[in-house]
Structure 1
Amino acid sequence: MVTGIILAAGFSKRFGADKLMLDFRGQPMVEKIIREAQASKLDRLLLIYRSKELEGLARSLGVEAFYNDRAHLGQAESVKLGVKKTQAGSAYMFIMGDQPLVDAEFIDSLLEEYYKAPGLILVPCFGDRRGNPVIFPPELGEELLKLEGDAGGRQIMGQFSELLGYYQVEDERLGRDLDLPEDLDLLED
C-alpha cells in the first residue's frame, strides 16, 4: 500500500506569488497534480495545504485534505502531518505541489518500481540529479516524524543512504519543480 501525499502548504517565497494556483495548461497547477494523482494507482491520496483556496479546490475534487497550521515552521511540518494521517503499514509517496509535469503514468511507473523492492527509499533521478516524488517505506515513518524545518526527506535519505534506490528517468523535466517565475518557461518547452 502506498499513500500519495501532496505537499501544498509552502509560501512560494522565491517565486514571489502563490504558484500553486497559477494556470498551467488550462487549470491551476495544483489541480493538475491532484487530478493526475487521482488517476494513478495510488491506494490513497492526501493533500496537505495552508491556503483556504486550496481547501475549496480539494473539496470540489473529492481529495482528503488536511490544513497545516504549522506551515510557517517549514516543509517538515507538512511531511509530518501527512505521515500522521497515513494508515499504518502504508508507504509514503511525497508529491510536490509545484511539479505539474508529474502525471499518472509517471506515478504508476514509480509505484511499479517501488513494489519490486518495497523496503527501499525510491528516488527518481535524471543522471545524477535527484528529483521527486520520492517513496519512503513504512518502516521510516517514525524517522519522518522527527524532521524539523525545511529539510524534508533529504535528511532521512542522508541518514539511511544504504536504503536508497534510484529510478532513472528519461525526461529531466519530470522531477523539476517551480521555484522561480522563469522556471515556468522550462516546464513549457
Structure 2
Amino acid sequence: MASLLDGVIIVAQAEDSLDWLPASAPDIPHSGKKWIHVPCEAAHLGMSESLKSGLLAAQSRRADAVLVLLADQPFVTTEMIDYIVSAYLHEKKTFVAARHKGISRPPVLFDACMFPELYRLQGDEGARRILQSNKRERGMAVEWQDKRCFIDIDTQNDYERLFSEKEHR
C-alpha cells in the first residue's frame, strides 16, 4: 500500500474477516485508506472469478491498468511493485510480468486493453496462457533475482515449512 499504486483492491470471499491483513494496513503512511475489500461471491468457481471481481472494481474506478498480486505471496516487495509499474509507464506495453529464471509469474500488470481477454478466463485458469500467447509482440517481462518474492504459501504446511527453514538458517 506504500507503493506507486493508486489503490489496492483486496478480493476475498465475502465471509473473509480480512484478519490476515496487518493491523497497520489502514495507517500505512501515504496510503490514505488506499485499499478496499471486494467480496467475490463466486470464488468457489476458481481463481478466474476473483480476478473478474477485481477487474470490475478497477473498471468502476476508471483504472488504466491493474497489477495482479496474490495474497499467498507475502514476500513481494514495494520495490518490486514500483519496478513493474515504472516499466509499464516507461515502456507502454500491454502487460508487464515479473519473471524469475525465465519463468513469468505474478505479480503481473495488465493494461486496460487486456481486460476483455482476462474476462474470458474460466475456472482455475490464470493468465499464464494470455501471457504466453501475447508475450513477444505486446508485453514484456522483467527479470527479478530475489526468488523469495515468488514463494507461494498455499497451505498451513507451506507456512510451517517456511518458518522451519528460516529457523534452521
* TM-score scaled by length of structure 2: 0.78
Q: In the comparison of the two structures, how many residue pairs are matched?
A: 152
Q: In the alignment, which residue of structure 2 is the partner of 1:185?
A: 162
Give the secondary-structure state (helix, strand or coil) at the position aligned to 2:153: coil
Correspondences of 1:21-32 after superposition (within 5 Å): none
Q: In the alignment, which residue of structure 2 is the partner of 1:16?
A: none
Measure, in 1, the Cα distance between the counterparts of 2:79 and 2:53.
26
Q: In the alignment, which residue of structure 1 is the partner of 2:54?
A: 82
Q: In the alignment, which residue of structure 1 is the partner of 2:131?
A: 157
Higher mean Cα deviation, 122-131 or 95-104?
122-131
Q: In the alignment, which residue of structure 1 is the partner of 2:106?
A: 132
Mapped contact 2:93–2:139 kept (Cα < 8 A): no
Instruction: Note closer, same or farther for the CA distance 1:112–1:68 as it changes in structure 2 (3 Å cut).
Output: same
The answer to whether structure 1 residue 48 and structure 2 residue 4 are counterparts is no
Mapped contact 2:73–2:153 kept (Cα < 8 A): yes
Measure, in 1, the Cα distance between the counterparts of 2:21 and 2:158.
26
Instruction: Note closer, same or farther for the CA distance 1:55–1:70 as it changes in structure 2 (3 Å cut).
Output: farther
The answer to whether structure 1 residue 102 and structure 2 residue 76 are counterparts is yes
Gaps of 5+ in 2: 27-32
* TM-score scaled by length of structure 1: 0.71
Give the secondary-structure state (helix, strand or coil) at the position aligned to 1:102: coil
Cα distance, 1:119 vs structure 2: 2.4
RMSD after superposition:
2.5
Give the letter aligned to residue 88 of structure 1.
R
- Specify which of 38, 42, 67 is matched with residue 39 of structure 2: 67
Instruction: Note closer, same or farther for the CA distance 1:84–1:111 as it changes in structure 2 (3 Å cut).
Output: same
Percent identity over paired residues: 26
The answer to whether structure 1 residue 39 and structure 2 residue 2 are counterparts is yes
Measure, in 2, the Cα distance between the counterparts of 1:128 and 1:166.
9
Q: In the alignment, which residue of structure 2 is the partner of 1:33?
A: none
Measure, in 1, the Cα distance between the counterparts of 2:73 and 2:131.
20
Q: In the alignment, which residue of structure 1 is the partner of 2:30?
A: none
Q: Which has the larger radius of gyration?
A: 2
